[in-house]
Chains A and B, each alone.
Chain A
């Protein structure tokens, strides 16, 4: 008998895998260097926002998922320099985290 998937115990692995696929698809579809760099920079900003939201809370699973997306994106990147993409992603994350942390961007509380 097939074992039921333990979502509560393995959600990080699941989302890690899903985000690798999402990152890969995004990267493959973006057939332009400028758009590819722009997209990874904005994705970095979104991840910075996510990490800011997890400030003082459990962060490791979210780091893993973000790295999953980045791996997928880098694997599918046929246009542009992969090192530049990693740097842009990290810069985007830092900028976004800093802007949220200093209160320049204040978000809605749902």
Chain B
């Protein structure tokens, strides 16, 4: 109980984002919403401004809620571990995502690339007292970072559970966005969140990444949620074990 009271106090005191983070949040939300609504600016090939703006607004709401949930989980887990988490924009990722979106839209099928940035952790000296490995460490950073993609998957599970209450076109878009966002963020390219766990622990990354990818595939296809969850965990554990047997074990032996 004391830990929860402590966490609530930390959230009240340190959760508030900086003005720069709020600005970055809006940039990321508008760009990602533009990408996911790129094919929806009119029925068929026709262009209709109001039609497009409506779809864009829906996309902004979906991306804002999803990204807020994604980063809030990282922030709260970070505070629980005694770190203040900050999300930083990666403008090259934003430009690259837009270029790929324009290019693939011209070809006929828009490919979503979601690489808007990554997290940075700040050490809170007083709140780390008593923790094993007191200072900053890669594993702590990786753990915090990877709760983001997990949060996206959990949001999809929640959305699927409340499917009858949400209009189907919003639900489908929200599910697709969160699944794609989780997978993109789990990729081990700096500064994306997957890279943080990859450098923290390869073994945990092997489990986490394969579970996220399996969950994304199984939740995308139309099967019951509980089968998708159990299936993805099983696939993750099998891939993790195979990774250890085929690759990691030989690395530990020195080749």
B98 interface contact, C-beta 8 A: yes
A46 interface contact, C-beta 8 A: yes
Complex contact A107–B89 (CB within 8 A): yes
Quick check: which of A10-18, A35-43, A56-64, A81-89 contacts chain B, the rest being far away?
A35-43
The residue on A at minimum CB distance from B88 is A108
Choice from A30, A32, A46, A104 contacting B95 with Cβ under 8 Å: A46
Complex contact A29–B103 (CB within 8 A): yes
B96 interface contact, C-beta 8 A: yes
Q: Given contacts A45-B95, A49-B95, is CB(A108)–CB(B117) below 8 Å?
A: yes
Complex contact A108–B105 (CB within 8 A): no
Complex contact B89–A108 (CB within 8 A): yes
Complex contact A35–B105 (CB within 8 A): yes
B22 interface contact, C-beta 8 A: no
| A92-110 CB contacts (< 8 Å) to partner B | 96, 100, 104-110
Q: What is the interface of chain B mostly: helix, strand, loop, or mixed?
A: helix
The residue on B at minimum CB distance from A31 is B106
Residues of B within 8 A of A46 (CB): 92, 95-96, 99
Residues of A within 8 A of B91 (CB): 49, 96, 100, 105, 107
Residues of A within 8 A of B190 (CB): 110
Q: CA separation between A42 and B99, bound complex, in Å? A: 7
B243 interface contact, C-beta 8 A: no
Q: CA separation between A31 and B76, bound complex, in Å? A: 46
**What is the CB-to-nearest-CB distance from A12 to chain B, in angstroms, rounded to a whole number?**
20
Q: Given contacts A49-B91, A49-B92, is CB(A108)–CB(B191) below 8 Å?
A: yes
**What is the CB-to-nearest-CB distance from A29 to chain B, in angstroms, rounded to a whole number?**
6
A26 interface contact, C-beta 8 A: yes
**What is the CB-to-nearest-CB distance from B130 to chain A, in angstroms, rounded to a whole number?**
31
**Contacts A/B (CB < 8 Å), 14 sampled:** A26-B99, A29-B106, A35-B102, A35-B105, A38-B102, A46-B92, A46-B95, A96-B91, A106-B24, A106-B88, A108-B90, A108-B118, A108-B191, A110-B190
Listed in ascending order, the chain A residues whose CB lies under 8 Å from chain B are: 26, 29-32, 35-36, 38-39, 42-43, 45-46, 49, 96, 100, 104-110
Listed in ascending order, the chain B residues whose CB lies under 8 Å from chain A are: 20, 23-24, 27, 88-92, 95-96, 98-99, 102-103, 105-107, 117-118, 120, 190-191
User: What 19 new A-B contacts, CB under 8 Å, besides A39-B106, A108-B117?
Assistant: A29-B106, A35-B105, A35-B106, A39-B99, A39-B102, A39-B103, A42-B98, A43-B95, A46-B99, A49-B95, A96-B91, A100-B91, A104-B23, A105-B89, A106-B24, A108-B88, A108-B120, A110-B190, A110-B191
Sorted nearest first, the 10 A-B pairs with minimum C-beta distance are A108-B88, A46-B95, A39-B102, A30-B106, A42-B98, A35-B106, A108-B90, A108-B191, A107-B91, A35-B102
